Structure 1
Amino acid sequence: MFEAHNVTDAELAHRPVKVALILALGAMITLGNVAVVAVIASSVSGWSRNSRYFLLSLTGADSAFGLVVMPLNLCVSLVKDVSAGPDPLCHAVAFFNSTVYSTCMYTLASISLERYVAVFYPLQYTALLTRRRTLLMIAFAWLFPPVLLLPISLPEGIIRVHFSAASLVCNPAYSSNVAYSLTLTGFLFFPCSIVMTYCNLRLWVAAKRQRLKLRQHSLNGRSRPDVASRVLVPVMTVYYTCWTPCMVTMLYNAISGNHVPEWVEFVAVWLPTSNGFLNCICYFWINRSFRKKFRAIIHRLCLGLCPQIGKVLGCTDAAGVHEVRGVLENNNTLQERSSSVSSTCTLLTLAPQGTFIR
Structure 2
Amino acid sequence: MEKCLNNTMAATDLCLKRSMLSTVMLGFILGAVIVLTICGNVVVCLAVGINRKLRSLTNCFIVSLATTDLLLGLLVLPFSAVIELHRSWPFGATFCNIYTSLDVMLCTASILNLFMISLDRYYAVTAPLRYSTLVTHCRVAVAMGFIWVVSLMVSFLPIHMGWNTPDLTVQNKGEKDKEDKCRLELNKGYVLVDAVGTFYLPLVVMCSTYYRIFKIAREQAKRINCCTASSSLNNHCSLPAKEHKATVTLATVMGAFIICWFPYFTVFTYQGLSEEEVDEMTFAIVLWLGYANSALNPILYAALNRDFRTAYSSLLHCHKVGPATASPHSHQGRAEVPRGSHQQHSPDCKGSLLEERALTMQDRNGKENPFISETAERGLPVSCSKSMWILSFCQDVWLAKVVPAQNRWIFEENGAELIKSQKMVEP
Shorter-chain TM-score: what band? Answer: 0.7 to 0.9
What is aligned with 2:213? 203
Segments of structure 2 that go 5 or more residues without pairing to the other structure are 5-15, 174-179, 321-328, 334-357, 370-390, 415-427
1:155-166 to 2 correspondences below 5 Å: 158-159=164-165, 161=171
**Structure 1: how far apart are the matches of 2:278 and 2:2?**
14
1:1-358 paired onto structure 2 within 5 Å: 13=19, 15-43=23-51, 49-74=56-81, 81=88, 87-154=93-160, 158-159=164-165, 161=171, 170-174=182-186, 177-220=187-230, 223-226=240-243, 227-301=245-319, 334-337=361-364, 345-346=396-397, 348=400, 354-355=410-411
Change beyond 3 A, Cα 1:351–1:268: farther
Instruction: Give the AA of the match of 1:187.
Output: G
Q: Residue 128 of structure 2 aligns to a residue in which SS?
A: coil
Q: Is the 8 A contact 2:100 2:183 kept in 1?
A: yes
Deviation of 1:105 after TM superposition, in Å, equals 0.7
Contact kept in structure 2, 1:65 and 1:100, CA below 8 Å? yes
Structure 1: state its 5+ residue gaps. Answer: 1-6, 303-318, 324-330
Give 3-state SS (helix, strand or coil) of 1:123's partner.
helix
TM-superposed deviation, 1:83: 10
Distance in 1 between residues matched to 2:306 and 2:266, nearest whole Å: 36
Deviations 1:55-79 (A, max 9, x none): 1101011112211111233456789
Deviation track 1:10-68 (CA, whole Å, cap 9, x = no partner) reads 9x9455543332221000111111111121224465x5611121111010111122111
* Cα offset, 1:229, TM superposition: 0.9
Q: Is the 8 A contact 2:41 2:298 kept in 1?
A: yes
Could you tell me whether the CA contact under 8 Å between 1:62 and 1:104 is conserved in 2? Answer: yes
Q: 1:156 to 1:110 in 2, by over 3 A?
A: closer
Q: Is the 8 A contact 2:41 2:66 kept in 1?
A: yes
What amino acid does structure 1 have at the position aligned with 2:32? A
Distance in 1 separating the partners of 2:267 and 2:220: 40
Tell me, in whole angstroms, the C-alpha distance in 2 between the residues paired with 1:35 and 1:205.
Answer: 33
State the Cα deviation string for residues 189-243 of structure 1 (Å, max 9, x = none).
0222122112111101110111122223323478342232132111101110111
Task: Describe the superposition over 1:291-348 as per-residue Cα deviations: whole angstroms up to 9, x where unpaired.
Answer: 122212333359xxxxxxxxxxxxxxxx79999xxxxxxx995422299x97694373
Verify the 8 A CA contact 1:41 1:52 in the aligned structure 2. no
Distance 1:72 1:34, change over 3 A: same
Distance 1:110 1:255, change over 3 A: same
**In structure 1, distance between residues paired with 2:246 and 2:106:** 29
Distance between the aligned counterparts of 2:88 and 2:229, measured in 1?
A: 71
For residues 172 and 393 of structure 2, what CA distance do their matches in structure 1 show? 40
C-alpha contact 1:61 1:104 (8 A) present in aligned 2: yes
Alpha-carbon deviation of 1:259?
Answer: 3.4
- Judged with a 3 Å threshold, the aligned counterparts in structure 2 of structure 1 residues 186 and 232 are, in CA distance, closer, same or farther, namely same
Alpha-carbon distance between aligned partners in 2 of 1:332 and 1:72, rounded to the nearest angstrom: 51
SS of 1:217 mapped into structure 2: helix
Which residue of the partner structure matches residue 307 of structure 1?
A: none
User: In the aligned structure 1, how far is the partner of 2:163 from the partner of 2:38?
Assistant: 34
- Looking at structure 2, the residues matched to 349 and 237 of structure 1 have their Cα atoms a distance apart, in angstroms, of 26
Q: Is the 8 A contact 2:264 2:286 kept in 1?
A: yes
Q: 2:386 aligns to what?
A: none
* TM-score (normalised: structure 2): 0.64
Letter in 1 for 2:291: T
Deviations 1:160-202 (A, max 9, x none): 6469xxxx9943122xx12221121111102221221121111
CA distance in 2 between partners of 1:202 and 1:281 (Å): 23
- Distance in 2 (alpha carbons) for counterparts of 1:139 and 1:128: 17
Q: What value does the CA root-mean-square deviation take over the aligned residues? A: 3.8
Secondary structure at the counterpart of residue 183 of structure 2: strand
Distance 1:65 1:224 in 2: 37
CA distance in 2, matches of 1:147, 1:232: 31
1:200/1:9 CA distance change after superposition, 3 Å: farther
Task: Quote how far apart the aligned CAs of 1:266 are.
Answer: 1.4
Higher RCO structure (Cα 8 Å, ≥6 apart)? 1
Q: What residue identity is the alignment partner of 1:203?
A: I
Q: How many residues end up aligned between the 2 structures? A: 319
